[in-house]
Structure 1
Amino acid sequence: MSKRSSSIAAPQVEPPKKQRLVDRESEAQQVIAAESTVDETPKAKVLIPTEAERAKIRKFPLLAFTAPYEGGEFYYERECYDEYYHLVSKELVSGATKGPDGLVGRDCVTVSGTPGIGKSVFYAYFFERYRKEHPNTWIIAVAFQQNQVNKLSVAAVGKEPVYYGSDQASRQLLQEASLEAVQWKETEEEGVTDKRLLFLCDGSPDMTRRQCVVFTDPNKRWRKVSRKLYCDYYMPLWTLDELQEAATLLNYPISDDLIKARFEKFGGVARECLSLDPVVSKKAERDLTKQMNAIFDPNVLRKLLLEHETSHYLLHYVPEADRAFTVPQLASEFVEEKLQERMLTKSTDKRLFLFQMTVTAIHPVQAAGVLNVLKKLGLLSHLELGALVFVVPKKLLQTFRRQEVVGIPTTGTTSVRSINGIGERTAELLEYYGLATIEKLEAELNDEVSGGELVEEKADVVARTNAEASEVLPSEPNASTTTVKMKDGHPADWARVLRAWGEYIQKRQYGSQVATIAQYVCTWEK
């Protein structure tokens, strides 16, 4: 998950309660990651993966998938896979249900979560690992489309898996494979105990089966079935670090900056963030905009909150600590800001309510995020029109306190990376030119010192393009060197600095006022 705070707009089921002002100095300082503008320029990654990192790359087994995997023949093993593997495995072998075969274990376990996070990839991981750790288990893996058998893989004990494509797989073939497995299971073999038959389903199946794991997106039809079994687990969204590491280890031609740009727009969904086809992300952005345009008042937002399985571009599932329940979260800061703009456009009194959804008692708000919305709407000089509305579970309604607003960094030793719009590449250049802090950068921009100088061994480096110059780093200076400033050596990056600094100064002017904005609390629960 990203470090940003989750937020959501929702109707006021109970009258919101205004929160009292508190002394900010008396509160513990909360740290929120500073925003940064993304440089989408692709750049080569220099990485020597460790043994542990190399171990995260696995090859897909011969398996029936509902949809083809577009990322190649290898996949990235997420850290959460081990946790969820043990959760599901434990249910299968030690659940409370006892079947007609006398074996104990859950009839059916469902693994779900936000569409696009890779549940089918976990299905492949689970298949391979479970088969290795349970050699006496016959596994039948089925890919379903619209509740119909689409593809089939049969992994008989002691044999290589047999794959049947969409032109061969059928319900009848599944029945025949199941019958063969049952006959094997009932046949006594010397020294072989605890024979089991396990069904793995990619997509919601046509029916429940004894000892079955279903990997599926949330949908009403299957939820009516699974909720009676009380054995659902929800997988988490990807973090930005995970996405960037996966792209690097899989050798995807996607820069960290581009992944970050997609992450800030779509949230922690690998399908969009790691897509190798730019058309996919463009289509996703179009669908996202279309869904946001359909939101025009709090009642529509409430419906979205209660029936969010139909709006996965806007709302994501965030698993709670037990992994069995989830809370909805707006997909990204991009979605938050756009929906807030929509609410303002339709408000009769032009009051801007910034809704922040949280399930915890502490939910710091980043002043920069609030100012971003107000700036886009031309309301920076009218902060009195803004109000923060925290939407919380009913159990927190009476005890929820006024939240801290994390201000804009001003001067001193704060890194230039905290300035929104600088970007990773430009920040590295600023640091190299000796302008690593806000204080030094401000002094340079105000011509108070002659900092920002880079000593080059060859004067002709100045004439190189930004791309060429960024690849050449000088050695230690000597008496024959030529002095160059960043604005001369990297004019395009310096122009980015000037733009980002202008926005930063404007936000700094109003940053302290955000702490005085009215705060309210309400609940989405009845």
Structure 2
Amino acid sequence: LPPKKTRLDTNSLMDAIKEAGLTQKAVVDNKSDLSLLDYKERVSVLGFLGRPVDKTDTYDSLSTIAFALRNSSFQEMKILSTPPGSDTLFPVVDTKDIFVRQAYKDLYDEVSLKFQDSPMNMARKRVVVTGTSGIGKSAFLVYFTIRLLTTSSDDNPPIVIFQEKGGSKCYVYGRLSTLRYGDIEDFRPFLNLPETWYLVDSSPNPLLVRAKTIISVSPKTLYSEMNQYQEIDKRVPWRYYMAPWTLEELEQCRSGVEGFKVIPKNLMEELYGMIGGVPRYVLEKPMDVLNLNPSNTAGAKKSACARVWQAIDFVRAPLRMMQCFEGKESLEYSSRLLHRWPTDGHEGFHLEWASAYIANKIGESLQDVTWQQILEKLTGVNVGTAKGPMFELYVRHIFRKGGYEFQIKELQDGTDITFK
């Protein structure tokens, strides 16, 4: 018998096409053309590109979980879990479970609808998913990948390219059977196909290509000086602003995800009142401390609040407080203090204080010169999205300080009343 073909670690597309036995179909005038191949044939070529992925790699779990969920209803799903009895963790989040927000389901449906393959739909299929840091935008990409692999037809299996955070490395899925790893450039020919899915987890160098593209990114990165994100800002008009978590969502996650059950409910509620609806601080940080010592609630609270307290200290200086309101230069700090809540349709946002606790702490620490700057800003014309929290902060200040008079007009008879 002839020796069985082995899958090579190769970065040459022409070699991969040859190994897949598709040279006659996919090579024209000595140039490759993947568009001539059907979906299954593209997966065959993918199997000879990049490098194989070890079973211990967390990204391998997505295929395994997708296979196990083939007959499941994603609309009813509240928790995604790795296989029982295994030590496998989800990539990105490094937990054995993922709480499925309703926002994930809604956005999946919206993307699927807008990104349909149709001769009538000629728009660039791209979306930037952004919002307050630490609310699970990256976890959405994991959910999206699993659901896409689970629900896609075996006859038309999608190619899904998942670019990791912080670099150019990526994992590429073809059906449930093929998973390869390598540099994004190794798989660029697939990115030129409009049927390919390209998911970007806050990489510093996302590509603008023909593939259906979902870029998950924090406001800090989106509005950075990196040239590629300046292009993203200009050329990807669809923004989806994901909301911070409600207390109800946090409790469902705490009680449903095994790793978070170590956090007492009253501690979680206290942290929510101080920090707001960001699971990175309200759940993940205290979990890490309590897993080492379940009775160390003081340490868990300190760990959860550390970065918020750091941000409050940072903005005490007048100039920094105004930068916090105005945006880009201090987004690393301001995003811990001011949360982005989506407007109707999730294509815009308004700012709100992360919590009344934070607003009070900042109000207690600001100098007179800062209050004067805030008042001048409020009476100006270019206040922008910061007007609401800026006004709230100033009102808290004058009520706390006292000594002010306010003129109030009765709506029914127009009588003026002085309020002290």
- The two structures have a TM-score, normalised by structure 1, of 0.49
- Contact between 1:64 and 1:141, CA under 8 Å: does it hold in 2? no
Shift of 1:347: 6.9
Letter in 1 for 2:197: L
Unaligned runs of at least 5 residues, structure 2: 1-72, 290-298, 412-416
User: In structure 2, what is the Cα distance between the partners aligned to 1:317 and 1:284?
Assistant: 20
Residue 215 of structure 1: aligned partner = 216
**CA 1:295–1:64 in 2, change beyond 3 Å: closer, same or farther?**
same
Task: Identify which of 71, 90, 93 aligns with 2:113.
Answer: 90
Tell me if 1:236 matches 2:243.
yes
User: In structure 2, what is the Cα distance between the partners aligned to 1:285 and 1:316?
Assistant: 15
User: In structure 2, what is the Cα distance between the partners aligned to 1:402 and 1:299?
Assistant: 39
Residue 318 of structure 1: aligned partner = 341
- Contact between 1:292 and 1:339, CA under 8 Å: does it hold in 2? yes
Secondary structure, counterpart of 1:144 in structure 2: coil
User: In structure 2, what is the Cα distance between the partners aligned to 1:516 and 1:163?
Assistant: 72
Matches within 5 A, 1:246-261: 246-251=253-258, 252=260, 253-261=262-270
Shift of 1:244: 0.8
Task: Identify which of 77, 86, 94 aligns with 1:55.
Answer: 77
- Contact between 2:190 and 2:196, CA under 8 Å: does it hold in 1? no
User: In structure 1, what is the Cα distance between the partners aligned to 2:406 and 2:316?
Assistant: 19
Secondary structure, counterpart of 2:141 in structure 1: helix
Matches within 5 A, 1:97-136: 104-135=122-153, 136=156
Q: Deviations over 1:130-172 (max 9, x none)?
A: 2333332211111130xx214x222113x425253xxxx32xx
Secondary structure, counterpart of 2:362 in structure 1: helix
Tell me if 1:176 matches 2:166.
no
Q: Deviations over 1:476-506 (max 9, x none)?
A: xxxxxxxxxxxxxxxxxxxxxxxxxxxxxxx
User: In structure 2, what is the Cα distance between the partners aligned to 1:212 and 1:63?
Assistant: 25
Letter in 2 for 1:56: K
Residue 289 of structure 1: aligned partner = 309
User: In structure 2, what is the Cα distance between the partners aligned to 1:117 and 1:384?
Assistant: 41
Higher relative contact order (CA closer than 8 Å, sequence separation 6+): 1
Residue 384 of structure 1: aligned partner = 403
**CA 1:142–1:286 in 2, change beyond 3 Å: closer, same or farther?**
same
**CA 1:321–1:90 in 2, change beyond 3 Å: closer, same or farther?**
same
Task: Identify which of 284, 301, 324 aligns with 2:321.
Answer: 301
**CA 1:216–1:181 in 2, change beyond 3 Å: closer, same or farther?**
closer
Residue 4 of structure 2: aligned partner = none
Residue 500 of structure 1: aligned partner = none
User: In structure 2, what is the Cα distance between the partners aligned to 1:358 and 1:75?
Assistant: 35
Shift of 1:129: 1.6
**CA 1:155–1:52 in 2, change beyond 3 Å: closer, same or farther?**
closer
- Contact between 2:75 and 2:105, CA under 8 Å: does it hold in 1? no
Tell me if 1:80 matches 2:96.
no
Secondary structure, counterpart of 1:122 in structure 2: helix
Task: Identify which of 267, 280, 295 aligns with 2:276.
Answer: 267
Which has the larger Rg?
1
- The structure with the greater share of residues assigned to helix is 2
Shift of 1:297: 6.5
Tell me if 1:277 matches 2:288.
yes
**CA 1:80–1:131 in 2, change beyond 3 Å: closer, same or farther?**
same
Q: Deviations over 1:184-203 (max 9, x none)?
A: x7xxxxxxxxx821111111
**CA 1:329–1:125 in 2, change beyond 3 Å: closer, same or farther?**
same
User: In structure 1, what is the Cα distance between the partners aligned to 2:139 and 2:323?
Assistant: 31
Q: Deviations over 1:60-100 (max 9, x none)?
A: 699995xx424x211111112121112222232269996xx
Matches within 5 A, 1:377-526: 383-384=402-403
- Contact between 1:296 and 1:342, CA under 8 Å: does it hold in 2? yes
Secondary structure, counterpart of 1:213 in structure 2: strand
Q: Deviations over 1:326-385 (max 9, x none)?
A: 112221111100111123666799xx99x9x998xx99x99xx999x78xx9x97x7435
- Contact between 2:282 and 2:304, CA under 8 Å: does it hold in 1? no
- Contact between 1:93 and 1:106, CA under 8 Å: does it hold in 2? no
- Contact between 1:96 and 1:105, CA under 8 Å: does it hold in 2? no
Secondary structure, counterpart of 2:309 in structure 1: helix
Letter in 1 for 2:104: Y
Matches within 5 A, 1:348-359: none
Letter in 1 for 2:238: C
User: In structure 2, what is the Cα distance between the partners aligned to 1:297 and 1:387?
Assistant: 29
Unaligned runs of at least 5 residues, structure 1: 1-50, 99-103, 186-194, 389-399, 404-514, 519-526
